Copies of this chain bind each other. A is one copy, B any other.
Amino acid sequence: MAMADAYQIQSNGGDSQSKPLLELYVKASGIDARRIGADLFCQEFWMELYALYEIGVARVEVKTVNVNSEAFKKNFLGAQPPIMIEEEKELTYTDNREIEGRIFHLAKEFNVPLFEKDPSAEKRIENLYRNFKLFLRAKVEFDKGKKEPSRVEDLPAQIKVHYNRVCEQLSNIDQLLSERKTRYLLGNSMTEYDCELMPRLHHIRIIGLSLLGFDIPHNFTHLWNYILTAYRTAAFIESCPADQDIIHHYKEQLNLFTNQRETLQSPTKTHTIPEKVLSDIRVKGLAPDVNVH
């Protein structure tokens, strides 16, 4: 298959012929088609596939695609990333349900606890991102024309309500993590809930700082420790777009002016957390490197 705009960015080809080879096509950045874009579903499946690759269950190749290119449109005829291809079986999975179905069956076959169910964790995370988007949209609209994002204290009540909801939900997750005392949401290994939540928290953080003058409250120590866990998880790091590509993605959707800071800068990834928070984590003995015996 000829793909003029596809660049292979990760290949974990082993010598085992028995392992299925899964190719994942992810959306490229609008800045540079060789870079990963900020599509949340793409990162979610990439993380799940990475988990299967890490324990030797599958071979995985990830390719970025420029969805606006003629080559992509012709090859996939209207399908949008994430798209997964399993050439040996002549199967193309163009639907999130199908992609998850295939990963689910592989995980089940090899007893990988990637899809354990936990309704209470599910409940805590389901509304967070929706509410963040409502807050983002309302505040960006309110700040239109201003040089700097307004401060939370200066927001009118109808925008503050969105802010409060986001904080409340972040607090709920912080609470859950403090009760469970686990590295990931359900335990000491990553599940689909982490593949969903980690990228969303990272977007909230990057977009909060760059567009909203908002940071995840520093007193949510357990939540910050969880974010730190993401920054130390290979599946997350590998699949994470650069800050500039995340910012560019949201600016495009919000119809905001993209400045040269994002498009010309060398891509960087914020994978550190504030010093004060890090020190709180250490004091409470939460950091993974402190916990290791």
User: Which residue numbers of A lie inside 8 Å of B, CB to CB?
Assistant: 38-39, 41, 70, 73-78, 80, 90-92, 95-97, 100, 126-127, 130, 133, 136-137, 249-250, 252-255
Contacts and interface: CB of A to CB of B under 8 A. Distances in A.
Given A96-B95, A97-B100, A130-B92, A77 B136 contact: yes
5 contacts: A75-B137, A77-B137, A77-B254, A78-B253, A97-B97
Number of copies of this kind of chain in the complex: 2
A75 B100 CA distance: 27
Contacts of A254: 73-74, 77
Contacts of A90: 127, 130
A252 B78 CA distance: 9
Contact of A91 (B73, B130, B249): B130
Query: Would you call the interface of chain A mostly helix, strand, loop, or mixed?
Result: helix
A293 to B, nearest CB: 38
B137 A91 contact: no
A137 B96 contact: no
A152 to B, nearest CB: 21
Contact of A77 (B70, B75, B100, B250): B250
A39 B130 CA distance: 24
A77 B139 CA distance: 14
A250 B41 CA distance: 25
A200 B38 CA distance: 30
A73 B140 CA distance: 14
